[in-house]
Amino acid sequence: MIAVSMIVTVIAAAAAVAIWSMQQNLLYFQSPSQLAEQAMPTGRNFRLGGLVKVDSVSRDEQSLEVSFMVTDGKAEVPVRFEGILPDLFREGKGVIAIGAMDESGAFAADDVLAKHDENYMPPEVADALAEAGHPVKD
């Protein structure tokens, strides 16, 4: 009986650790409107998707830091990124940024992904834009 209870305890502990690890590594997708409704906790990694707001991109002359706004037509989220942006990164085009919200309320991106051609937009971004009343043409 003792051996069986020890085995069950070890299996339960291993399952709990596995579930906790998977929860920590999931990257949820959020649109700016979803963030406005329910904010993500500071420091929790997730994917932010939408369109790069026109005339919102500003670059620091002394470093590789770039800031811009991501919008879905209803809400906007300020994004900061330090690094080299993808060649296809443009204002008014679809983007997914991976990172976390910081204490100032801005999204600190670790990685920025841009669409790969004129006709493609990540499905999550297209769905979020359509839900916000800003449908994307096929």
Q: Mind listing the pLDDT tens digit for each residue in 68-109?
A: 999 988 899 999 999 999 888 988 888 999 999 988 889 999
More reliable by pLDDT, 137 or 26: 26
Give the pLDDT score at 44. 83
Long-range contacts of 39-44 (CB under 8 A, 24+ apart): 39/101, 40/100, 40/101, 41/101, 42/100, 42/101, 42/102, 42/103, 43/100, 43/101, 44/100, 44/101
Matching residue, tokens 């994004």: 79
User: Is the pLDDT assigned to residue 45 strictly greater than 90?
Assistant: no
Q: What is the pTM of this model?
A: 0.69
**Residue at 110: amino acid letter:** D
Q: Domains in the chain, start-ordered, CATH in brackets?
A: 27-131 (2.40.50.140)
pLDDT at 25: 66
